[in-house]
Structure 1
Amino acid sequence: METEYLNVGRIINTHGIKGEVKIKRITDFEERFREGNILYWSPGGTGEVTRLTVEAHRIHKGFDLLKFQGYPTINEVEPLKNGILMIHKEDTTPLGAEEYYFHEIIGCHVYTTAGHYVGEVKEIMTPGANDVWVIDRKEEGDALIPYIEEVVVQVDVSKKTIIIEPMEGLLD
């Protein structure tokens, strides 16, 4: 059976000369980057996979900086740029009620409470107090839906559907 992976970040650049990389995090679980944890790197999220052990983690200017064991200088981490960091799917943490993994939400079809089709969730941003779901609306451009109780009425990940009650101006 082939191992399934879940994306937790993208290496967007190197940082300094001592082997640190700058990560765009795509997980709510900061503990994924804890010292000693195992991550898997792929140049594009498929194909070749390299196992990496986190040696150090810190936050700098809103980004995660990681250092991996066996990668002591910028020369070793330079080839990792633009690659995807992943975990084994079976290493996920159980979630509480009304909590979802990004991979469960991305690809869901969004409808209003009136039954109007809005589009498909293509990305999730984590800018601060709440997540923001980016909805691909094909003809109209993207819509940004805050994941808050007043807007998101129902999520059914098994049916890949989400029902929203749009606030005034949300879909304009």
Structure 2
Amino acid sequence: MKKSDENRVVVARIGAAHGIRGEVRIKSFTENPADFAAYGPLATDNGRTFEVLSARPQKTMMIARLKNVTTREAAEALNGVELSVSRDALGEADEDEFFLADLIGLTAKSESGEKLGTVAAVHNFGAGDILEIRMVGSGSEMVDFSKHTVPAIDLDEGILTLVLPDQVSERDEADDDDRTEAQ
């Protein structure tokens, strides 16, 4: 998930065409996959808007019919297009909840407070959420978004605590050593 700009949040991505009547596969980024269709017209980066006429689940995707997309060729032309809504349409997150898009731009710091980088994007390639961290002075790192790697998030301060994967492995090994000594 990424912010398409400060006022828009990507809620879905159009995939391959489905059938011959213009339906498309949709990868939804909303907690309930069908909710992507509940926000009203969805916009693309180039300003085009789509109204979802119907949507139904199929395995890990949604199958949707979009207004004015009536042929397989028109559906195929949309493959890979990201759909966004106004940030205001999402409402407010409950206490102790946040939108993944809100993580983008946060400063990533180590547990000791050292600045490690900035969250550039949140990805999901099918196996869970991945944070792309633009590291200080050394390119980008892709990090599993879990309680082990991100034990704390402070949206008000604009900071998340990041435990890098090699540190997670060291922590797991220390936990194993502690368990062995306790036996």
TM-score calculated relative to the size of structure 2: 0.70
- Structure having the larger proportion of residues in helix: 2
Q: Which amino acid aligns with 1:68?
A: L
User: Equivalent residue of 1:142, what SS?
Assistant: strand
Quote the residue 2:177 is aligned against: none
1:163 Cα deviation from its structure 2 partner: 1.6
Counterpart in the other structure of 2:63: 65
**Equivalent residues, number:** 163
Aligned partners of 1:11 and 1:142: how far apart in 2?
A: 26
Aligned counterpart in structure 2 of residue 93 of structure 1, from 69, 91, 94:
91
Which of 101, 104, 109 is 1:103 aligned to?
Answer: 101
Stretch of structure 1 that moved more, 22-31 or 83-92:
22-31
Structure 2: tracts of 5 or more residues without a match: 1-5, 171-183
Q: Which residue of 2 aligns with 1:23?
A: 26
Aligned CA distance change for structure 1 residues 141 and 167 (closer, same or farther; 3 Å): closer
Q: Distance in 2 between matches of 1:115 and 1:171?
A: 20
| 1:33/1:66 contact within 8 Å kept | no
- Change in 2 beyond 3 A, CA 1:119/1:37: closer
Name the SS for the 2:151 alignment partner: strand
SS in 2 for 1:104: helix
Letter in 2 for 1:53: E
Q: TM-score, normalised by structure 1?
A: 0.74
Question: 2:119 touches 2:133 (CA, 8 Å); kept in 1?
Answer: yes
Paired residues of 1:27 and 1:102 also in contact (CA < 8 A): no
For the Cα contact (< 8 Å) 1:107–1:120, is it kept in 2?
yes
**Tell me, which stretches of 5 or more residues in structure 1 are unaligned?**
none
**For residue 11 of structure 1, what is the aligned residue in structure 2?**
14
The Cα of 1:171 is off from its aligned counterpart by 8.2
Q: Measure the CA separation in 1 of the matches of 2:80 and 2:149.
A: 34
State the match for 1:146 in structure 2.
145
Aligned twin of 2:112? 114
After superposition, the Cα gap between the structure-2 partners of 1:61 and 1:97, relative to the gap in structure 1 and judged at 3 Å, is same
Give me the identity figure in percent: 19
Q: CA RMSD in A?
A: 3.0
Distance in 2 (CA, whole Å) between partners of 1:133 and 1:9 is 18
The equivalent residue for 1:76 is: 74
Deviations 1:45-103 (A, max 9, x none): 2x4232x2212223334222221133222133333333221112221133222211122
SS at match of 1:99: coil
Larger radius of gyration between Structure 1 and Structure 2: 2
The answer as to whether partners of 1:41 and 1:83 remain within 8 angstroms in 2 is no
Matched, 1:49 2:48: yes
